[in-house]
Amino acid sequence: MKLISWNVNGLRACVTKGFADYFNSADADIFAIQETKLQPGQIDLAFSGYDCYMNSAEKKGYSGTMVFTRLHPIAEFTNFDAWRALCPEIDIPHGFESEGRILTLEFSDFYFIDVYVPNSQRELTRLEYRMQWEDLFRRFLIALNSHKPVIVCGDMNVAHKEIDLKNPKSNRKNAGFTDEERGKMTELLSAGFTDSFRHLYPDRADAYSWWSYMGNAREKNVGWRIDYFITSESLKNKIKDAFISPEIFGSDHCPVGLEIDI
Tell me if 155 sits within 8 A of 35, measured CB to CB. yes
Burial of 203 (0-12, 13-18, 19+ CB in 10 A): exposed
- Residue 74's H or E segment, with its range, is none
State what percent of residues in the chain have pLDDT above 90: 99
CATH of the domain at 11: 3.60.10.10
For the chain, how many structural domains are there in total? 1
DSSP 210: E
Average pLDDT rounded to a whole number, residues 111-140: 97
pLDDT-derived band at 74 (thresholds 50, 70, 90) equals very high
| β-bridge partners, 78 | 103
DSSP 221: T
DSSP 129: H
Task: Give the Cα separation of 167 and 224 in Å (integer).
Answer: 9
CA distance to 190, 193, 210, 242, per residue, from 146 (Å): 15, 12, 32, 24
Enumerate the active-site residues: 116, 155
Q: How many CB atoms lie within 10 A of CB 16?
A: 9
Residue-level pLDDT at 83: 98
Tens of pLDDT, residues 178-189 = 999 999 999 999
Task: Give the Cα separation of 204 and 31 in Å (integer).
Answer: 25
Looking at the chain, the number of H-run helices and the number of E-run strands are 7, 14
Tens of pLDDT, residues 158-205 = 999 999 999 999 999 999 999 999 999 999 999 999 999 999 999 999
pLDDT-derived band at 79 (thresholds 50, 70, 90) equals very high
Residue-level pLDDT at 95: 92
Task: Give the Cα separation of 70 and 193 in Å (integer).
Answer: 25
- Residue 7's H or E segment, with its range, is strand 2-7
Domain containing 223 equals: 2-260
Tens of pLDDT, residues 36-54 = 999 999 999 999 999 999 9
